Chains A and B, each alone.
Chain A
Amino acid sequence: MDSFIQEIRGLFGKNEDFFLLQDYVSDAPVVLLGFKTLLDLTKTKSVLYKNIESMLSAGKSSEEILFNIGEVKEKDIKMATSTLLEGKLIILIENSKKYIVFEPVPKSLNRSVQSPENENVLQGALNSFTEDIDTNIGIMRKQLITTDLFVQSFTTGKNQKRKISLLYLESQADKDLVRKIVNRIETNLDMDINNMQGLTTLMGFSSWEAISKFHTTELPFQAVHLLNKERVVLFVDQLPFAFILPNFFWDLFAMENDRNFPKPIMIAIRAVRVIGILITLISPGLYVALVAVNPEVLQIELALSIARSREGVPYPALVEIILMLLILELILEASVRLPKSIGPTITMVGGIILGQAAVEAKLVSNLLIIILAATTIANSTVVSFQNSVSIRVFKYVVVLLSAIFGILGLVAGLVLVCAYFASLNTFGFSYLYVNLKKDEMNG
C-alpha cells in the first residue's frame, strides 16, 4: 500500500465512520475511501457497479472506465481530505498517481423544505430556506426563471470549510456593490465563518453596530423580491436564511407579501408598522417623562388619575419601568430557551406577574402594565426579528434620557436615534436610502 493511503489513514483512521475498502473496477484493484456517515455506502456501491457494468457492456477497457466514472485528480493530500469531508467517495487506483472522485448517494442529513419558523406569512408562499445551501439556491432558481440570475460560490475558512454563495440579478444589482462584495470575500477567504458575526467581519463591517448590516429573511418570496430591487443575496451553508445586502430602513415596514393584499390594505398594514415603531420608541419614555418630570403637560384629570394609579408605589418611575421592562425581557428570553411543551407555563406565570399580582401588591402602577403591553405588542409589528431586537434596544436609550430630562429627553432620544439611523452606511448605500423607482416611497 502506498504512502498516500497511509497518510489518509493517519488522518482519519481513528474515526469509526471512516472506511477503507478493497474493490475491483472490472479487473483493476482499487481502494474506496469515504465516510459512512456522509454517504450511503450500499446504495453508492450499487450505483457504482451499475455504471461499471453498463460501460463494460459497451466494450470499454478498465482504464477507460476508471477515467469516465468520476472526476480524475492528481494525488494531493489536502485536496483529497477536503473532498472526503465534503462527503464524496474517493476511488484510489493502486500503483497510480491519480484518484477518482465519485459522486455518491448522500445520506439525507437535511430537513425538507418546510414552512417558515421565525416569520409568519399570511396568504402567501409558505416555503422557506433550509440549512442546505444548494437547496436554497435551487428554491431561488425555481422562483426566478431567468437567465439574469447569477450565482457565485466561494469556499471560505482555513480549518473549517464553509461555502458562501452570492446571488444577484445582472440587470438589477449595482455593479459596484457586487464588485465590492466579491472583493471583500476574496481577500478574506481564510476566515472561518460560522455565523452572522463572522460574515460581518468578513465583509469588513464594524461589529459594534446595533443594526445589522444584513437584512435576514427565511422567505424565498421576500428574497426574490429584494433581488429585483437592486439588492444582492448571500447564502451561508448550514444557515437557514438569506442575508440580503444592503439593509435599508424601509425594510422595517415593507414585506413583499403585503402585495398579496389590495393596495389600500397594504398601505394600511404598513402604516400600522410605522405606528408600531413609534409607539415602541415613544411610549415607555413618555410614561417616565410624564410621571417623573413633566406631569403638568397632561390635562389635570388625566394627571390625577395617573397619580392615583401610582399611589403606594414605593420607587421612582424610572426604577419601576426598568424593573418591569427587565422582567419582560426575561420572559421573552425564557420562552425562546424552553422546549415547546413547557413554554406556555412561562406565558402563564409571566401573565400572572405582569397582569395582576404586581399591581395588587402595589409594586407597579396599572398604567405601566398598559404601557408595557402596548410597547411589547407594538414592537412585534416590525418586519424581521433582527430588526425588532434592535428597536427594543433603542427604547432604553429613550427611557434613560426621558428619566433625566423629561419630554426634552424624549425628543433628544428620538433625535439621537434618527441621527444614528442616518449615520449608517453599507458600501456607500445609506440606511435611509429609498428606492423610488417603483411605487414605494417615504423615507
Chain B
Amino acid sequence: MDKSLNVMVIYILSHLGLIFFMYPGNIIDSTEQGHWLPILIGVIVHFVFITIYMKGLELFPKKDVISIYSSIGKGTAVFFLIPVLLYFIMIILITVRAYAEIITIVFLSNTPLWAIILLILFISTYIAANGIEPIFRTGFLLAILFLPLIVMIFFTSFQNVDWHYFVPFDTDFKFMSSPSYYESFFAFSGGFLFLGFIQPYFSYKRKKVLIAAAILIPIFLFSVYIPILTFGQATAATTFLPYVVVVDTININWLMFDRVTMFFLLSLISFIMLYLALVIWKTVRIINHYIPSIHSSYCMILLSLAIFITCHFISDWKEVEKLFLWNTLLRFYVLFAIPLSIYYFGRRAKRKENNANT
C-alpha cells in the first residue's frame, strides 16, 4: 500500500523539530551577510543527496539499507553500517542532551536535568518500542494536534519584521571556512536516512518525498531570516537560539497567554520525541542485525539507559557543542557516503542483471 502521505508527514515533522533550534544560530554565526547563499547550498546538497538516495533505493525494491549492504558483503556492511550506528547513537545523545538543556534554559529552570532527560527518553523509547507503524501513526496524530499551532506561530512571527534588513544581498564563500556552517548540516543530515529503513513496511513515491522537502525550503529560509529581519544581523548573532528569541517577542493581545514560545517550543519538542523514537528504532534495527538474540524492546531499553547514563557525563553546553563539532565528520560521511554507495551498488546490481539477461 502506498503510504507516501505518512512518510511525508514524518519527514516534515522530524525536520521541523531539527530546524527551528540550532540551525538559525549556526547559519547566522557562519556569515555576516547574504545568508541566502549558505542556506541555498545546504538545500541543494539536501535535495541532491535525497534524490540519489531514493534513486538508489528504488533499484532495490522492498529492501532496507541493512539488507542491501549485507547482501553485498560482510565487509561492506561493517564499513557502512557501523559509522551509521555510531552516528545514530551520537545524535540520540546530542539531541536528548541539547534539548533537555534548551528546555531548562527556556522554561523549566528549577527541574533537574536528569528528570527532563528521563522523560524525553522514556516517551521516545515507548513510541519506538511499539514498532515502526505506530511511530508513523503517532506522527500523524501529532501533526493534527500540533502542526496548526506551529503554522500559526510561524506566521505571527513575522509581526516585528523590518524588511530593510534583507539587504545587503551580495555575499561570498567565506562561510565555507566556518565550523558552525558545517554544524548547520545537522538539520539536513539528521532526518533523511529513515527513508532507507522503512522499505518493507512502507512504500512511498519519490516525488511525494521531494514535495515534502520542497515544503521545508521556506522554513529553512525564514527560520534564519526572521531573526535577522527582526533584530538585524548584529543583534541576532548575539542570541543563543535566535528563532526562539523572536517567538518570545511576539505579542498577541487577544490570546490569554503571554509566552507563545512555550507552546511553539513544546510542539517542536513533541516532534523531537517522535524523531528520537525513529532514530532509536533505526539504531536497534542495526544492533539487532548483528546481535539478533536480544529482543528489540529490551535492546531499546538498554540503549536508552546507556544514553541516560552517558548524558550525565556531559556537564554543560560547551561540551554539547564540542560533541556537535566532533560529530561533523560522521555527519558528512552519512550525508555523502550512504546515498552514493547505495546508488553505486544499485547500478552495479542492475548492470549485472542486464548482463545476465543478454
| Interfacial residues, chain A to chain B (CB-CB below 8 A) | 293-294, 296-300, 302, 401, 404-412, 414-416, 418-419, 421-423, 430, 432, 442-443
The one of A302, A404, A419, A443 that contacts B134, using a Cβ cutoff of 8 Å: A419
The one of B116, B142, B256, B262 that contacts A415, using a Cβ cutoff of 8 Å: B142
Q: Which residues of A contact B270 (CB under 8 A)?
A: 411-412, 414-415
Determine if A408 and B145 form an interchain contact, defined as CB atoms under 8 angstroms apart. no
Determine if A419 and B126 form an interchain contact, defined as CB atoms under 8 angstroms apart. yes
- Give the Cβ gap from B274 to chain A, nearest Cβ, in Å: 8
CA distance A406 to B266 in the complex (A): 11
Determine if A418 and B142 form an interchain contact, defined as CB atoms under 8 angstroms apart. yes
Chain A contact residues: over half helix, strand or loop, or mixed? helix
Determine if B145 and A406 form an interchain contact, defined as CB atoms under 8 angstroms apart. no
The one of B131, B137, B259, B266 that contacts A408, using a Cβ cutoff of 8 Å: B266
Determine if A412 and B123 form an interchain contact, defined as CB atoms under 8 angstroms apart. yes
Q: Kindly state whether residue B257 has any CB partner on chain A within 8 Å.
A: yes
Q: Which residues of B contact A422 (CB under 8 A)?
A: 127, 130, 134-135, 137-138, 140-141
25 contacts between A and B (CB under 8 A): A296-B258, A296-B259, A297-B258, A298-B256, A298-B257, A298-B258, A302-B256, A406-B107, A406-B108, A407-B107, A407-B263, A407-B266, A408-B107, A408-B108, A409-B119, A414-B270, A416-B123, A416-B126, A418-B138, A419-B123, A419-B127, A419-B134, A423-B134, A432-B137, A443-B144
Q: Which residues of A contact B258 (CB under 8 A)?
A: 296-300
Q: Which residues of A contact B103 (CB under 8 A)?
A: 408
Q: Which residues of B contact A411 (CB under 8 A)?
A: 266-267, 269-270
Determine if A421 and B141 form an interchain contact, defined as CB atoms under 8 angstroms apart. yes
Using a CB-CB cutoff of 8 Å, which residues 53-99 of chain B contact chain A? none
Q: Kindly state whether residue B115 has any CB partner on chain A within 8 Å.
A: yes
Determine if B107 and A430 form an interchain contact, defined as CB atoms under 8 angstroms apart. no
CA distance A300 to B145 in the complex (A): 27
CA distance A293 to B111 in the complex (A): 10
Q: Which residues of B contact A296 (CB under 8 A)?
A: 107, 258-259
Q: Kindly state whether residue B8 has any CB partner on chain A within 8 Å.
A: no
Q: Which residues of A contact B140 (CB under 8 A)?
A: 422, 432, 443
The 5 closest A-B pairs by CB, nearest first: A422-B137, A423-B130, A418-B141, A422-B138, A422-B134
Closest Cβ neighbor of B253 among chain A residues: A299
CA distance A410 to B134 in the complex (A): 21
Determine if B115 and A404 form an interchain contact, defined as CB atoms under 8 angstroms apart. yes
Determine if B256 and A430 form an interchain contact, defined as CB atoms under 8 angstroms apart. no
Determine if A415 and B138 form an interchain contact, defined as CB atoms under 8 angstroms apart. yes
Known contacts A297-B257, A405-B116; is-contact A419 B130 (Cβ 8 Å)? yes
CA distance A419 to B140 in the complex (A): 10
Q: Kindly state whether residue B133 has any CB partner on chain A within 8 Å.
A: yes
CA distance A369 to B133 in the complex (A): 40
Known contacts A298-B256, A415-B273, A421-B141; is-contact A407 B262 (Cβ 8 Å)? yes
Mark B4-38 against chain A: 1 for CB-CB distance below 8 A, else 0.
00000000000000000000000000000000000
- Give the Cβ gap from A141 to chain B, nearest Cβ, in Å: 35
CA distance A298 to B259 in the complex (A): 7
Using a CB-CB cutoff of 8 Å, which residues 132-166 of chain B contact chain A? 133-135, 137-138, 140-142, 144-145
Q: With contacts A412-B119, A412-B270, A432-B141 known, what are 20 further pairs, Cβ within 8 A?
A: A294-B107, A294-B108, A297-B257, A297-B262, A298-B256, A299-B256, A401-B119, A405-B116, A406-B108, A407-B107, A408-B116, A411-B269, A415-B273, A415-B274, A418-B145, A419-B123, A421-B138, A422-B135, A430-B134, A442-B144
Q: Which residues of B contact A298 (CB under 8 A)?
A: 256-258
Closest Cβ neighbor of A249 among chain B residues: B141
Q: Which residues of B contact A410 (CB under 8 A)?
A: 266
CA distance A296 to B259 in the complex (A): 7
CA distance A414 to B111 in the complex (A): 20
Determine if B119 and A408 form an interchain contact, defined as CB atoms under 8 angstroms apart. yes
Closest Cβ neighbor of B126 among chain A residues: A419
What's the tally of chain B residues with a CB closer than 8 Å to chain A?
A: 36
- Give the Cβ gap from A379 to chain B, nearest Cβ, in Å: 18
Q: Which residues of A contact B142 (CB under 8 A)?
A: 415, 418
CA distance A422 to B135 in the complex (A): 7
- Give the Cβ gap from A175 to chain B, nearest Cβ, in Å: 17
Mark B326-343 against chain A: 1 for CB-CB distance below 8 A, else 0.
000000000000000000
Q: Which residues of A contact B263 (CB under 8 A)?
A: 407
Known contacts A416-B123, A419-B127; is-contact A430 B257 (Cβ 8 Å)? no
Q: Which residues of B contact A421 (CB under 8 A)?
A: 137-138, 141
Q: Which residues of B contact A297 (CB under 8 A)?
A: 107, 257-259, 262
- Give the Cβ gap from B291 to chain A, nearest Cβ, in Å: 25
Mark B256-300 against chain A: 1 for CB-CB distance below 8 A, else 0.
111100110011011001100000000000000000000000000
Q: Which residues of B contact A418 (CB under 8 A)?
A: 138, 141-142, 145
Q: Which residues of B contact A408 (CB under 8 A)?
A: 103, 107-108, 116, 119, 266, 269
Known contacts A297-B257, A411-B267, A412-B119; is-contact A405 B108 (Cβ 8 Å)? yes
- Give the Cβ gap from B343 to chain A, nearest Cβ, in Å: 33
CA distance A405 to B144 in the complex (A): 23
CA distance A293 to B259 in the complex (A): 14
Q: Which of B131, B134, B140, B273 has the most CB of A within 10 A?
A: B134
CA distance A190 to B103 in the complex (A): 56
CA distance A386 to B141 in the complex (A): 22
- Give the Cβ gap from B297 to chain A, nearest Cβ, in Å: 12
- Give the Cβ gap from A112 to chain B, nearest Cβ, in Å: 44
CA distance A357 to B31 in the complex (A): 64
Determine if B107 and A412 form an interchain contact, defined as CB atoms under 8 angstroms apart. no
CA distance A75 to B130 in the complex (A): 55
Q: Which residues of A contact B144 (CB under 8 A)?
A: 442-443
CA distance A416 to B122 in the complex (A): 10
CA distance A80 to B107 in the complex (A): 75
Q: Which residues of A contact B119 (CB under 8 A)?
A: 401, 405, 408-409, 412
Q: Which residues of A contact B269 (CB under 8 A)?
A: 408, 411
CA distance A408 to B108 in the complex (A): 9
CA distance A184 to B221 in the complex (A): 56
Q: Which of A297, A405, A415, A443 has the most CB of B within 10 A?
A: A415
- Give the Cβ gap from B108 to chain A, nearest Cβ, in Å: 6
CA distance A360 to B255 in the complex (A): 30
- Give the Cβ gap from B119 to chain A, nearest Cβ, in Å: 6
CA distance A293 to B267 in the complex (A): 18
Closest Cβ neighbor of A404 among chain B residues: B115
- Give the Cβ gap from B330 to chain A, nearest Cβ, in Å: 28
CA distance A35 to B342 in the complex (A): 78
Q: Which residues of B contact A409 (CB under 8 A)?
A: 119
Known contacts A296-B259, A298-B258; is-contact A419 B266 (Cβ 8 Å)? no
Q: Which residues of A contact B259 (CB under 8 A)?
A: 296-297
- Give the Cβ gap from B355 to chain A, nearest Cβ, in Å: 42
Closest Cβ neighbor of A421 among chain B residues: B141
Q: Which residues of A contact B273 (CB under 8 A)?
A: 412, 415
CA distance A433 to B103 in the complex (A): 34
CA distance A412 to B271 in the complex (A): 11
CA distance A406 to B135 in the complex (A): 25
The one of A405, A415, A442 that contacts B111, using a Cβ cutoff of 8 Å: A405
Closest Cβ neighbor of B263 among chain A residues: A407
